[in-house]
Structures are given as C-alpha cells and as structure tokens.
Amino acid sequence: MRPQVFVTRQLPSPAIGRLAEVCDYQIGVERGVLNRDSLLAGVREVDGLICLLTDAIDREVIEAGTRLRVIANVAVGYNNIDMAAARARGVYVTNTPDVLTEATANLTWALILAVTRRIVEADAFTRAGKFTGWDFDMMLGSGITGKTLGVVGYGRIGRAVARRATGFGMQVIYCGRDDVAFRDDPRHNSIMIARQGNTSPLSQSARLDGLAARRVSFYQLLEMADIVTLHVPLAAATRHLIDRGAFARMKPTAYLINTSRGPVVDEAALVGALRERRIAGAGLDVYEREPEISAPLLEMSNLVLLPHIGSATLETRTAMAMLAVENAIDVLSGRAPRSEVRL
C-alpha cells in the first residue's frame, strides 16, 4: 500500500507530480488558508502532512494524526508547529532552508532602497499628478553608500543580505542568535567586548563569506547601524526583540527592515517611533498579527508595507514545494529527510 499524504494547499504542479510518483495524496484547499476542521479531518489516517506557515500544527492536530510520521513545512520558519508535541510522538519535522535565501535577500534590499529613497511615496506622488517638474529639494531620501548595515541574525539569509551590502559600499556589523538570546547577560557582553579588542575581529563565518563584517553585541548594533535588518526566527528570545527600548537606542536617522517574522517587532512601539521620528523610517514584509495590519501603520508615509512576499518568485516557491515533497518522500521511504528541523 502506498503512503498517504495530506497537503493543506495546492502546490506547484512539478511538486505535486513528484509526490504522485510515490504517494497517494489529498489536497485540502486550492487557494488560501485551510480551515481548522478540514485540517483536523485531513491528518487522520495519513502518514505524512505537507503544510504551510499559515497552518497551525499544534498538539491537537499532531495527536489527531495517529499514523503521522512526517510534517513537511513549506517554509524555513517552523513557529507554526508544536515541536515538543511532534518530538513526543516521534514525528519528523522538516523545513525548506537554502532555496529561498537569495529571493528573500533580494526582497530585503528592495525594501531598503524603497524606504531610504522614498520610492513608494514618490510613485504615489507622481500618480497623483503632483509632479510638475524637477525641483532641487523634491523627494529627498537618504543615501546608503558609506553607511553601516546592521544584520540581526547571521544565518543564511542574513549573510546573503550582508554580501549585497558590499556592492553599495556599506560597512557591515552583525550579531548572531546567541548575542540576541543573551543580550542582557553581562558575562556574554564582556566576552563580546574582549573579542572586539582582538587584532582579528572578524568571525569565522564572516571570513568564510569573504566579508569584512564585524560582530558586535545586539545593543551596540542598534546604536551603530544606519539600517537595522532582522533575520532571526520567532522564538521566546526574539518576540518583541525590537521594542521601545530598542528604538530608543537607534539613531534618529536609522531605518528598520523586517523580513523575518512579524512578532519580532512590537508594532505599537514601531508606530510610536515613526510618529515621533525616533527613527527615520521602516520597511515591513511581515506583521505582528498577520494578516491584520494595525491601522496606524497604514497611515505612515515613512513606512513601506509588503504582503509577506519575501520568497515570492515562481522559481523559489516551486523549489520550496519540491524540497518539502522530497522531505516527505524521504521519511515515508525509510530514509532520513534532507532538511530535518533539529532543536
């Protein structure tokens, strides 16, 4: 008997075609988000689940899948999955790293350029018929050459964003997950200061990437960076990582970019920082209560808003779906999955 797989949403045809070679499958919904009852019904009596970041795969769902052996998430992040419940049931959880790195890094730079050069604002100005001729002071933005890019989270995407900064003549500083998790630990900060005093301040990861990127503490990054870009997963240590205190440390000329997860930023604090011009502007691709966007954000002219399209290219989304399918097939064929989430 062939393995049975439930796919919460229709995926690109190459991925579904590959799945059909090995497994029997059902698709929950053609477009949009699958409702809760259909999700619970779908996981019963199947061996594998292929889901999206909009699907809440909590303990109830996992326990409903009495035969479940693998949960293949079509995303890098996995905060939509109860990892403890999956581990307790011996269910593999997989994600789709690497294949969306370049697309997300490119989108991050699109946001950086859009907000610093007021691209969206200028487009609306032009379409409204307000452009009556060139003017010396019209739509002045902020240059980035010679400025400092601060990368919070120096994983695959963070490093890809940093690589692009060299082409714009920017300096790069960064902090990693440990720097964020232990940001209030004096012992950790003492180690960071000692490391920066070393004659060779570049981290091993920075050397491997060929980047002159300098590792600093989280608070130093906030104080030094002209652009702060977020590339951390959503976890207890990163929820509201950027809050009122963080904005108070940033330069009034600095910009915030978030293409990671919405709750990493306290949106109420962001509204206050933008209104009071404690920072110059921001660019968001993700939101705290997605898909809801708080009304004050919609009113901000110094803010660029995108509908969570970091990986939204045809090539990338197809590659993500293919990797998720291959992960599911690996497990259901008795092999270790190629991108298992390991905590």
Residue 324 structure tokens: 């998720």
| Whether residue 160 is found in the same domain as residue 251 | yes
Domain-located, residue 143 = yes
Give the C-alpha separation, 270 to 129, whole Å. Answer: 31
Residue spans of alpha helices (H) in the chain: 13-22, 36-43, 59-64, 83-88, 101-116, 119-127, 156-167, 177-181, 186-196, 204-208, 218-224, 244-249, 267-275, 295-298, 314-332
The answer to the question of residue 146 being in a domain is: yes
> CB of 170 within 8 A of CB of 148?
yes
Residue of 118, 214, 215, 261 with catalytic role = 261
Amino acid (one-letter) located at 235:
A
Alpha-carbon distances of 140 from 143, 166, 198, rounded to whole Å: 9, 23, 40
Residue type, 283: G
195-226 in b/e form (b: 16+ CB < 10 A) is eeeeeeeebebbeebebebbbbbbbbbbebbb
Q: Amino acid letter at 30?
A: E
Q: Which residues pair with 27 in a beta bridge?
A: 7
339 within some domain: no
| pLDDT of 314 over the 80 cut | yes
pLDDT at 194: 61
Q: Is residue 199 located within the same domain as residue 285?
A: yes
Q: Say if residues 253 and 280 touch (Cβ distance below 8 Å).
A: yes
pLDDT in tens, 66-80: 999 999 999 999 999
Which of these, 109, 142, 110, 124, lies nearest to 280 by C-alpha position?
142
Residue 241 lies in a domain: yes
**Could you say which of 60, 63, 290, 340 is catalytic?**
290
**What is the per-residue pLDDT for 211?**
72
In the structure, what pLDDT confidence band is assigned to residue 200 with cuts at 50, 70 and 90?
Answer: very low
Report pLDDT digits (tens) over 241-294.
Answer: 999 999 999 999 999 999 999 999 999 999 999 999 999 999 999 999 999 999
Cα 222 from Cα 9, distance rounded (Å):
39
Same domain, 202 and 301: yes
Q: Are residues 82 and 225 in the same domain?
A: no
Residue 189: what pLDDT?
Answer: 66
Count of domains forming the chain: 2
Which residue segment(s) compose the domain that 263 sits in?
A: 101-305
Query: Binning pLDDT at 50, 70 and 90, where does residue 48 land?
Result: very high
Tell me the three state secondary structure of residue 74.
Answer: coil
Confidence band of 1 (pLDDT split at 50, 70, 90)? confident
Which of 117, 188, 308, 340 is catalytic? The answer is 308
By residue count, the chain amounts to 343
In a domain, 340, yes or no: no
85 closest CA partner among 48, 57, 44? 57
Are residues 50 and 152 both part of a single domain? no
Q: Is 308 a catalytic residue?
A: yes
State how far the Cα of 330 lies from the Cα of 4, in Å rounded to an integer.
14
Task: Look at residue 212 in the predicted model and tell me its pLDDT.
Answer: 82
Q: Per the domain annotation, does 328 fall within a domain?
A: yes
Is residue 338 domain-resident?
A: no
Q: Are 271 and 281 in contact (CB under 8 A)?
A: no
Does some domain include residue 296? Answer: yes
Residue 145 and residue 22 share a domain: no
Q: Report the CATH number that the domain containing residue 55 is assigned in CATH.
A: 3.40.50.720
CA-to-CA distance for 214 and 217, rounded, in angstroms? 10
Percent of the chain surpassing pLDDT 90: 89
More confident residue, 197 or 318: 318
Based on the residue annotation, tell me whether 214 is a catalytic residue of this protein: no
